[in-house]
Structure 1
Amino acid sequence: MASFVISHKIVKHSKTFSEGEFLKDCMIAVSDILCPESKKKFESISLSRRTVVRRIECISEDLTDQLGIRIKSLLWYSLALDESTDISDTAQLLIFITGIDDQFVITEELLSVEHLKETTTGDDLFESVSSCMERFGLPWDMLVNVTTDGAPSLTGKNSGLLRKMKDKVLAMNSSHSMLSLHCIIHQESLCKSVLNLKHVVDPVVRVVNFIKARGLNHRQFKSLLSDLESEYSDVLYHTNVRWLSLGKVLQRVWNLREEIVKVTEMKNTTMEFSTQMKNREWQSVISFAVDIIAKLNALNLKLQVKCVFAHEMYAEVKSFQVKLMLFSRQLKEHNYAHFPTLQLQTIATQSAEKYSQQLSHLNEEFVRRFADFKLLEKEFALLTVPFTIDIDSVPAEIQLELIDLQNDIVLKEQFKGLELMQFWSSLQKDKFSNLQTFTRKMFTLSASTYICVQTFSTMNLNKSKCRSQLTDVNLTSIMRIATSTISPDFEKLVKTCSQLHSSH
């Protein structure tokens, strides 16, 4: 069993297969000190590269089997899809499933990694998804929604994957339609582009890269910061403009602006940043950028929290939209209460109006990009505030049950003290069957593909330049083990392994 447990840990921590031999050497060395009498036990553990590979494949098969058993009990499910190319130029399609059973137990797991060797058209992707669903016995008419990052091959109007999946669902059950959503985190990131901060970002990126790229300058900068007793010992290195890192870069550069200007002057280097920092108008622009990007990044981090339902994520977005309109009104009135960096600057009326207008445009972009989620507002309201929603606004098959629910004083009190899912799962199945069917569907909605993005990070960490020859089977095993919340049945694995050995 020890070799299975260690192999499992190796994958969970994205270590190479050959790490097992190193770990075995460490254990044997430590056993000499702590438990010499057990040294032979450690020596008997098989952790060669080949053994670790076999163990990992067995663990992956076990997790797949356990997932298959869970899938059989699901009443409804949704999928999150994302496609990316690995270091060997192989397109990898990740398929994650979120499902719910009769007891309102949620299953969220990696369903499959589909390896696309040639083209990645809508037809290719549909064939891969269909094959995956067939392998796991997933009925099309139980599919509630599919969420993607909006790539053309996935969302094409006539030949994209989503179009083909919707047609398939309707063909299987004409009374059931599949929802399609654009990843809420991806949409939020795209909204930021409307701010058009390139004239701020470019000078900041150039000066940071100048400091980091020249070793001498970098050492002098660190020394200077030390002399000035700055709270920052370094500047974050910014190469590609990713919003989360950009927010940190802007904040840190702003706080170190005087030190940075001194460094560039010491090197007799003319940098746009140093020149611009003498301009009050540009100082106010970068101050505005620091504050608004910090707020956008705070929203982004809230949306990345694990185990958050679609209605909760959309509530965060709606809340932010209301805040944007408040900020816009306040800036127009020269009220900078929620913009601490900007508040310290001297702001011209014209600039304040420009910032106000930018926030108004940003809000409009949020409205446009989250139109698909807005269409679900009534459904979200029924799920979260069932005792106050208008009976006439819900589907006919739910109305009578909802009337019974709203007029049940005991249930109304229970609703106040229970978590949302606990409340809905506690209802009498025979009395509120349609309501429970509706809420199960809502709880399975996949609002983002962030779990796919995280998994691609795992893929890139494992299938790197040093491990570019990793086989598709090995890669699939690694990604399943690395992402799974299911515990391997180690006892069963050991028993199966022993039976195989005895049969030989």
Structure 2
Amino acid sequence: MSGGAGPSKKPKTYHFHTEWEEDFSFTMSYSKCVCLICKSTIAIPKKGNVERHFRTIHKSYNTDFPPKSELRRRKVKELKSQLSGHQAFFSQLTTKAKTTTEASFRVSHVLVKNKKSFQDGEMIKEAFVEAAESLFQDFKNKPEMVSSIKALQLSRSTVTCRCEAMAEDVTQKLWRDIADCECFSLQLDESTDVSDTAQLCIFIRMVFTDMIAKEELLTVLPMKEHTRGEDIFQSFKNFIKKTQLPVWKLVSITMDGAPAMIGRSNGFIAKCREDDAFPDFLNYHCIIHQQALCAKMLNMKEIMDVAMKIGCSIRGRSLQRRLFCVDLEKADCDHTELLLHTDVRWLSRGKFLQRFRELCPEIKEFLLASRHAEYTQLNEDQWLLDLAFLTDLTNMLNDLNVELQGKDKTVVNMISSVNVFKRKMQHLGSKLQRHDLANFQNLVSELERQGKACAQLDSGRYTVQIENLLSDFNKRFQDFALLEPVATFMCYPFRENADVDLLASEIATVFHLNSSGVEDEILTLQADIELKSRAHGQFWNLLTEEKYPNMRKCATSLTALFSSTYLCESAFSHMKIIKSKYRSTMTDHLEVCFSSYCPDYASLADSIQCKSSA
């Protein structure tokens, strides 16, 4: 007796024959053998099964419709047409429900993108129905179109479910990209929402094999207790364990300059470096925060203090504000309001000073008429000249700040913008010494009002301010200055006068590479004729991993670097709109709001039971 089992018997396959339609009134529909007379189905399309059903259930059919007759053929054709009609009817209902559900996902996505309350879905539906009554008035199928709109599911709970499904869909796409990317960088910042819960916002910048970079919101972690460096680190560490984030791909972390982030012993960065799971990574203080801190170093406190005190005495009191606005309207001024300044908002100082200076005559008249405390500075020529100079300089700093903001800004762009500003400041300092005020429009205007020539200006008073500003810029941007030679080389690596030894040493130091290996690859790269011919295009993705492993790592790492926390600051601004005092417990779904991924509406509609609204 054999110990092994015998060969398994191959299952027999049965095929439907078309002649059974006329002989036994059966047909194949959606892979099922269906009786045309009673709509019953047979599990196995076998002749014996089909014939048995026909002769047992429909005994009188052959008498009423004789076989092989024209009457029999017409009857079979009629029955097939009826079956198709029934199936089309139910299919149409299913298709309509699916399209309605897909439309519901699309409208919900628009609501989230525009930071609207989920209950606004009902308002959109109502507005849509009202508009349809007029828009489709001359359409023949107007009732069907209005009926389709009314079938939209847009209740608050439905929109919430739709947003949760879309958030899960875009999150899955994000994690697929994280798994496929070569490396990534992170930017982190923490802020408190309207419910006094600290929210740790984390954005990720991924770089793929083709050197394409993509910036996405990674997560927002609520921190309900302390926000010390160890607390932030532990919260992030728990997120890594939960999601299996491939930390070994991490290149750099960018954050603000808070002690909880950059503390030498207990800061978040220090804790990350102590953890063996983290690789050797770079860390940067947000370049926009540093620029804003440099702007605060201007030694003109006496100007800002007086201007702020006057502005708050007018703008901060309801009655004074109303009276001042009425005076401006009567005087037919270009502006009808005085602005307020806050240190939190980076651009407010320049705008405040510009508006204050433009309305200075009206302010003096209003203060005199309303018997406010006297401000003798408003009548001092030197104070007004200082105000004009500070206004011009803060406007230049504002222009730099705006240039540094935005999504998809590379570290090369940021370094270039800061270097251009420093060069301009050096140039303007030398022009000031020559009493050339072409770039200081407010200062020229004030000199003209006082009836003074440009040569009478004490230019040394202001060149000192510019020199101090430049000195602070050089001090604060040292970490980016170390990266500048590497960025310059990566933008154009074929400069013949490049110091290969020094360059290889700098690249190896920044990205923790082998100096001799980097040196060999630089020499090989600079002698590569084919790559040199494509130097003005995107050629870093042409470098193979086998031939240029260090250069590829350098290129991908540099592309992945975040140089600011602009995305986090922008997310907090959006969060402030979404979670207001009127809806503080609302789920914000920032994943959908900030994601560049488009949800797969069709697959989402297929994944749930589609129903139309009542």
Give the alignment's TM-score, normalised by structure 1. 0.90
CA-to-aligned-CA distance 1:268-287 (integer Å, 9 cap, x gap): 33442xx3221111011101
Contact 1:209 1:239 in 2 (8 A): no
- 2:424 pairs with 1:424: no
Map 1:441-452 to 2 at 5 A.
441-452=557-568
- Partner of 1:207 in structure 2? 310
- Partner of 2:382 in structure 1? 281
- Partner of 1:76 in structure 2? 183
Match of 2:165 among 39, 58, 62: 58
- Partner of 1:17 in structure 2? 118
CA-to-aligned-CA distance 1:430-477 (integer Å, 9 cap, x gap): 43343122100000001000100000111111111111223xxx23xx
- Partner of 1:244 in structure 2? 347
- Partner of 1:413 in structure 2? 533
CA-to-aligned-CA distance 1:164-186 (integer Å, 9 cap, x gap): 21233xx358xx52101000000
Identify if the C-alpha distance between structure 1 residues 161 and 220 changes in structure 2 by more than 3 Å, giving closer, same or farther.
Answer: closer
- Partner of 2:499 in structure 1? 390
| Cα displacement (A) at 1:85 | 1.2
Contact 1:85 1:91 in 2 (8 A): yes
Match of 2:603 among 482, 492, 496: 492
Cα separation, 1, equivalents of 2:476 and 2:239: 30
Contact 1:71 1:136 in 2 (8 A): no
Cα separation, 2, equivalents of 1:486 and 1:160: 33
Greater relative CO, 1 or 2 (CA 8 Å, sep 6+): 1
| Cα displacement (A) at 1:224 | 4.4
Which segment is superposed worse, 330-339 or 177-186?
A: 330-339
Cα separation, 1, equivalents of 2:374 and 2:387: 16
Contact 1:96 1:110 in 2 (8 A): yes
Cα separation, 1, equivalents of 2:109 and 2:254: 30
Map 1:126-275 to 2 at 5 A.
126-168=233-275, 171-172=276-277, 177-213=280-316, 218=321, 221-238=324-341, 242-272=345-375, 275=376
- Partner of 1:323 in structure 2? 424
Identify if the C-alpha distance between structure 1 residues 90 and 220 changes in structure 2 by more than 3 Å, giving closer, same or farther.
Answer: closer
CA-to-aligned-CA distance 1:365-392 (integer Å, 9 cap, x gap): 1111111111212221221121123211
| Cα displacement (A) at 1:141 | 2.4
**Equivalent position SS for 2:582:** helix
**Equivalent position SS for 1:145:** strand
| Cα displacement (A) at 1:220 | 5.2
Larger helix proportion of the pair: 1
Which segment is superposed worse, 220-229 or 146-155?
A: 220-229
| Cα displacement (A) at 1:24 | 1.2
| Cα displacement (A) at 1:140 | 2.6
- 2:200 pairs with 1:102: no
**Equivalent position SS for 2:438:** coil
Instruction: Give aligned pairs, total.
Output: 486
Match of 1:33 among 134, 140, 159: 134
Q: Which ranges in structure 2 are unaligned for 5 or more consecutive residues?
A: 1-101, 137-141, 505-514
Cα separation, 2, equivalents of 1:363 and 1:339: 18
Contact 1:78 1:444 in 2 (8 A): yes
Cα separation, 1, equivalents of 2:462 and 2:114: 45
* Matched residue type, 1:79: L
Cα separation, 2, equivalents of 1:147 and 1:212: 37
Contact 1:68 1:136 in 2 (8 A): no
Give the alignment's TM-score, normalised by structure 2. 0.75
- Partner of 1:401 in structure 2? 521
**Equivalent position SS for 2:493:** coil
Structure with greater Cα Rg: 2
CA-to-aligned-CA distance 1:344-402 (integer Å, 9 cap, x gap): 42479794222211211111111111111112122212211211232112132222222
Which segment is superposed worse, 177-186 or 210-219?
A: 210-219
Identify if the C-alpha distance between structure 1 residues 350 and 232 changes in structure 2 by more than 3 Å, giving closer, same or farther.
Answer: closer
Instruction: Work out the percentage of aligned pairs sharing the same amino acid.
Output: 35
- 2:554 pairs with 1:438: yes
* Matched residue type, 2:442: T
